[in-house]
Amino acid sequence: MTRQEATPTHRTPLNKDRVLRAAVALADATGIDALSMRRLAQELDVVPMALYKHVANKEELLDGMVDTVVGEIDPLTAGPDWQSAVRGRILSARRVLLRHPWAARVIESRTGPTPAVLAYLDSMAGSFRDGGLSADLTHHVMHAMGSRLLGFSQELFDTSGPSGPPGPELAARYPHIAELAATAAHDGSSPVGGGCDDQFEFEFALDLLLDGFESLRCQGWTSARKA
C-alpha cells in the first residue's frame, strides 16, 4: 500500500495563483480586516507558514491581490472619440472595484505600483495621447484623475453607514449639510451622503473632468510653469 491514489490525503498543491484567488475570495466574503495569514491558511487547509512558500509576506500578498482585481478590468475598446473610450474603461474599472469593495483601500495603501497597475495606467496614458493630448497635458490629466482612473473616488465616508435619522439638533449644528441631505433625500438618503446615487456622483465628476480636459486640448493648453 505504498500508493494512496484513492485516499484523498493528497490535496491539490498550493501555488501563488490559488493563494491569491483564495485571498480575494476571503476578502470579498469577510472583509479586508478579517483577512489574516492564519485565516487564509485555514481556508486553504494548510498551516499558516505554508503560505510563505508562495508569497514573501503579507505585503506581497496584498500586492498580488491588487494585481488580480486590476486584471479583471476590461481591455480597451475603441470608441468614436477618446473621451468615450476612456470613459468606458474607467466605468469598467469601477464595476470591478464595486465587486471587491476592499480593493480601493488596499490600492491606496500600497506604497508602489504593481505591474498590472502600471500596465493599466500605461494604456490609459496611451488613450489620452491617442486622443491628441500632449504628453505634458496627459501628465497633469492623469494626476487630476487620481484614483478615479481606477474606478473609485474615495467617498470620504462610508456612504452606507447605519447613521439613523438626521435629528433636529444635528440639522441645527450643520445647517448646510442638513440642506444637502434634504435635497438628496428625495430619492432616499441619509445625512452626509448616505443614499446618494454614487454612480451618478462618480460620473458627474468624471465627465466634468473629461470635458475640462477636452476643452484644454482644444485650446492647445500647455503648462505655464517654466524652469
Asked if residue 180 binds a second copy (CB under 8 A), the reply is yes
Q: Which residue has the cell 441619509?
A: 190
Q: Categorise residue 28: left if φ over 0, alpha if ψ from -120 to 50, beta otherwise.
A: alpha
Residue type, 84: S
Using CB under 8 A, count the residues that bind a second copy. Answer: 65
Alpha-carbon separation of residue 219 from 3, 86, 131, 189, 222 (angstroms) = 75, 20, 14, 40, 9
- By beta-carbon proximity to DNA, the closer residue of 25 and 144 is 25
Q: How close are the terminal C-alpha atoms of the chain, in Å?
A: 79
Rounded to whole angstroms, the Cα distance separating 206 from 194 reads 20
Half-sphere CA count of 149, side-chain side, radius 13 A: 23
Asked if residue 193 binds a second copy (CB under 8 A), the reply is yes
- By beta-carbon proximity to a second copy, the closer residue of 6 and 172 is 172
Asked if residue 47 binds DNA (CB under 7 A), the reply is yes
Rounded to whole angstroms, the Cα distance separating 200 from 126 reads 27
Using CB under 7 A, count the residues that bind DNA. Answer: 21
> What string marks each residue from 48 to 87 as x (binds DNA by CB under 7 A) or -?
xxx-xxx--xxx----------------------------
**Contacting positions for a second copy (CB under 8 A):** 105, 107-113, 118-119, 121-123, 125-126, 129, 135-136, 138-140, 142-144, 146-147, 149-150, 153-158, 161, 163, 173-177, 179-180, 182-184, 186-187, 192-193, 196-197, 200-201, 204-205, 208-209, 211-213, 216, 223, 225, 227
**Contacting positions for DNA (CB under 7 A):** 10-11, 13-15, 35-39, 46-50, 52-54, 57-59
